[in-house]
Amino acid sequence: MISQFFVLSQRGDNIVFRDYRGEVQKATAEIFFRKVKFWKEDGQEEAPPVFNVDGVNYFHVKVVGLMFVATTRVNLSPSFVFELLQRIARVIKDYLGVLNEDSLRRNFVLVYELLDEVIDFGYVQTTSTEVLKSYVFNEPIVVDAAHLSPLGPAAFFMQGTKRMPGTAVTKSVVANDPTGRKREEIFVDIIEKISITFSSSGYILTSEIDGTIQMKSYLTGNPEIRLALNDDLSIGRGGRSVYDYRSSIGSGVVILDDCNFHESVRLDSFEADKTLALVPPDGEFPVMNYRMTQEFKPPFRINALIEEAGTLKAEVILKVYAEFSSSITANTISVQMPLPKDTMRASFELEPGAVGQTTDFKEANKRLEWNLKKAIISYHGFYIVGGSEHTLRARLTFSQETHGNITKESGPVSMTFTIPMYNASKLQVKYLQIAKKSGSYNPYRWVRYVTLSNSYVARL
């Protein structure tokens, strides 16, 4: 049972606010933002996704820089509320095409109409875009995709001077095309979030992939879709290792620990030929979620070394090895490392010829930050064996002589990144077949791959 729902900008502006039950004070948005902005409890720098203030439970998730928040006084399952907030964001994006502050402000009437249909007196009714089309009648005001930030979702799929075709990420599922033409398109994304922990010597201690096959369809007539995956796909741990150096998007053995499918998916022939059959509903939806803990080749390796260089000095050497094809571009690469609490300042030295790299020492929380805006990775031979190497040296100065172990007081090193057209699991869409017989029906089909870092950590 949800008491309130609201959406805040990064500045704390209240863009959308709906009070469903009237049992929580109206100033919750301001209380929430002030608490999150200046969170200092439990030694943490960031507020947890759920916390309690004066008997009110606050749940929040961040979506494209916006904070989606729900409040309640009752004891609700956090997983339920987080899933609800994500689904509300997805429904709004389906209707508006573009989810950002501008689109929300321009379409506030439509957004409020959606919220009143999704939740009634605090109780969830439906989060299905297809079902909502029968009850929501306002037309969206389309926001020009050209005004999107270059760091928006579409930017993740840029490969050098080439851009992804189509406009699936910026098109409403209900808005009419200005030209009057029907746009026959279907988009499939394979999105994988990687979690890896490296030992101090560079060996992998833990590794996991959380992946999803996501689809968005603009096909008229709701035709049946058949999606074929790897022939060698198996579900359940079979004791085999899939660790090798083949192409990240080539066919090969793929062993998933477990998976689940959208309710529209039929598995009649999945065991026989690894084919999924479905009639895609309106809007963006996950066709299949999966998890993999078998060994896989990591896209990056991190090595970190810290050595004393005198009574009040130490030197940190960070090396990042990229182990994928030179045809792939990695975006939004960032490396962070906590430093000893007595660190007073840090000076940095990048490798000769380094371009697009920035460094910073966050004195408030004693953290080193190294950002690589864009790095095109090189490799040697057909199989990746070493790849390119990026190095940072940081010279630390301490405020007093440290008597503890510098290595134990530092780290671990963490890394975030996005790699378009790359998937570590090697799960592949072999073909996408549309069962509709029409001479004029020639839709555009596009499959995209993207790998994101979830928890990418190297111990010292």
**CA 192, 241, 432, 127 torsion-angle sign:** negative
Count of C-beta atoms within a 10 Å radius of residue 104: 20
Residue 178 forms part of a structural domain: no
Whether residue 71 contacts residue 50, with contact meaning beta carbons closer than 8 Å, is answered with no
Q: Give phi and psi for 50, each to the nearest 5.
A: -140, 135
pLDDT band at 227 (very low <50, low <70, confident <90, very high): very high
Q: Identify whether residues 416 and 280 lie together within a single domain.
A: no
pLDDT band at 257 (very low <50, low <70, confident <90, very high): very high
Instruction: Give the DSSP letter string of 239-276.
Output: S------S-TTS---EEESEEEE-TTEE-TTHHHH-EE
Q: How many Cα atoms occupy the beta-carbon half-sphere of 225 within 13 Å?
A: 26
Query: Beta strands 4-8 and 66-72: pairing type?
Result: antiparallel
Coil vs helix vs strand at 194: strand
pLDDT at 250 over 60: no
Count of C-beta atoms within a 10 Å radius of residue 412: 16
Whether residue 329 contacts residue 374, with contact meaning beta carbons closer than 8 Å, is answered with yes
Mean pLDDT score of the chain:
82
Whether residue 117 contacts residue 138, with contact meaning beta carbons closer than 8 Å, is answered with no
Number of domains in the chain: 3
Residue 153 forms part of a structural domain: no
The whole-angstrom separation of Cα 199 and Cα 122 is 47
Residue 177 forms part of a structural domain: no
Alpha carbon 177 to its chain's center: 29
- Average pLDDT score over residue span 169-193: 73
pLDDT at 241 over 50: no
Range among 144-148, 329-333, 337-341 with highest mean pLDDT value: 337-341
Structure confidence at residue 8 (pLDDT): 96
CATH number, domain containing residue 454: 2.60.40.1170
Q: What is the pLDDT of residues 374-397, one digit of tens each?
A: 555 544 332 223 357 789 999 999
Q: Identify whether residues 288 and 432 lie together within a single domain.
A: yes
Q: Identify whether residues 11 and 127 lie together within a single domain.
A: yes
Q: Identify whether residues 411 and 304 lie together within a single domain.
A: yes
pLDDT at 354 over 80: no
Count of C-beta atoms within a 10 Å radius of residue 67: 20
Q: Identify whether residues 344 and 233 lie together within a single domain.
A: no
Residue 56 forms part of a structural domain: yes
Whether residue 175 contacts residue 145, with contact meaning beta carbons closer than 8 Å, is answered with no
pLDDT at 147 over 60: no
pLDDT band at 20 (very low <50, low <70, confident <90, very high): very high
Structural domain including 121 reads 4-133
Q: Identify whether residues 307 and 293 lie together within a single domain.
A: no
Whether residue 175 contacts residue 182, with contact meaning beta carbons closer than 8 Å, is answered with no
Alpha carbon 48 to its chain's center: 18
Closest to 192 measured CA to CA, from 285, 323, 290, 296: 290
Q: Identify whether residues 281 and 192 lie together within a single domain.
A: yes
Share of the chain above pLDDT 90, in %: 43
Q: What is the pLDDT of residues 59-108, one digit of tens each?
A: 999 998 899 999 999 999 999 999 999 999 999 999 998 899 999 999 99
CATH number, domain containing residue 66: 3.30.450.60
Higher pLDDT, 330 or 72: 72
Q: Give phi and psi for 180, each to the nearest 5.
A: 85, -5
CB-count exposure of residue 261 (10 Å: 0-12, 13-18, 19+): middle
Structure confidence at residue 112 (pLDDT): 95
Structure confidence at residue 419 (pLDDT): 85
Structure confidence at residue 82 (pLDDT): 96
Residue 138 forms part of a structural domain: no
Residue 412 forms part of a structural domain: yes
Q: Identify whether residues 357 and 449 lie together within a single domain.
A: no
Residue 259 forms part of a structural domain: yes
Alpha carbon 366 to its chain's center: 27
pLDDT band at 400 (very low <50, low <70, confident <90, very high): confident
Beta bridge partners of 258: 291
Structure confidence at residue 158 (pLDDT): 40
Q: Identify whether residues 63 and 211 lie together within a single domain.
A: no
pLDDT band at 249 (very low <50, low <70, confident <90, very high): very low
- Average pLDDT score over residue span 219-244: 75
Q: Identify whether residues 289 and 307 lie together within a single domain.
A: no
pLDDT at 10 over 80: yes
- Average pLDDT score over residue span 438-448: 67
Structure confidence at residue 43 (pLDDT): 60
Query: What residue spans of 142-248 are helical by DSSP H?
Result: none
Structure confidence at residue 389 (pLDDT): 79
pLDDT at 242 over 50: no
pLDDT band at 168 (very low <50, low <70, confident <90, very high): very low
Residue 145 forms part of a structural domain: no
Residue with the two structure tokens 């999803």: 212
Whether residue 331 contacts residue 418, with contact meaning beta carbons closer than 8 Å, is answered with yes
Structure confidence at residue 294 (pLDDT): 85
Q: Identify whether residues 97 and 238 lie together within a single domain.
A: no
Q: Identify whether residues 292 and 435 lie together within a single domain.
A: yes
pLDDT band at 372 (very low <50, low <70, confident <90, very high): confident
